[in-house]
Structure 1
Amino acid sequence: MYERSRTVVRCAVGQTEEFNVEVGLHQGSALSPFLFAIVMDQLSEEVRQESPWTMMFADDIVICSESREQVEENLERWRFALERRRMKVSRSKTEYMCVNEREGSGTVRLQGEEVKKVQEFKYLGSTVQSNGECGKEVKKRVQAVKSS
């Protein structure tokens, strides 16, 4: 199924010529999520460490740590494990958030580049706020009920 795969791209103005698919998984295939889960299971075993918790769903990963240094160390472990398998961390999508932040906690870096700091982030469609509140998420859900 994955050997010598070819595809086309369709858009509003037409369709591309057929081309070879050399990396990735077939979108919509029942086998694709299973193959991805096998890879992620192996990766998570490799980078497993003592940490409060890690959430993973598909290609979204949330790493929680007690300190900025631990966050950097965990990010580096994931980066190394992914790159060994010819995958990569999306630096443009990588963010960090501090909870109960102390003054001057510093920045988080990944291979020398500063990672964007946020006060909230979305995970699987839900908003997680640095202040521990859930007001934005509740408001969003109430609004969704009102508009339905």
Structure 2
Amino acid sequence: MIGLQCVLPVMTYGTETWPLTMGLIRRLRVAQRAMERAMLGVSLRDQIRNEEIRRRTRVTDITQRVAKLKWQWAGHIARRTDGRWGLKVLEWRPRTGKRSVGRPSTRWTDDIRRVAGSRWRQAAQDRVLWNSLQKTYVHQFTSIG
């Protein structure tokens, strides 16, 4: 199980900066399950349930880890006052000619706004409130699939 404890930090490196979509979460979960099965020497043909494999490996779900990392990073970015690029990039709106056809792509802040509201940067200033909202944020991704 030591190998997987090394793999999870590598798999989640930089995920704080990704917009979390259901497709991304599904791909991360599939990759984690494949690694857990390989480490236990279990094949899909053995028909062992994912819950049993997770019980054996005792590793946290990658979805929980990714959501928690992103929430913590969002709070950190919102509280920074040193004028670095992080917050400026979040507020930037590109000037392009026409919009593309179809639904707009998921932005990094969309899922954060769903939990904390449109004034999420002000909510992040209060660490107690921000940490209490974290459980709700993580739960919205772990309850799916």
Larger relative CO (CA 8 A, sep 6+): 1 or 2?
2
Larger Rg computed on CA atoms: 1
Which category of TM-score, normalised to the shorter sequence, fits these structures? Answer: under 0.3
TM-score w.r.t. length of structure 2? 0.25
TM-score w.r.t. length of structure 1? 0.25
Q: Which has more helix, going by share of residues?
A: 2
Q: Which has more strand, going by share of residues?
A: 1
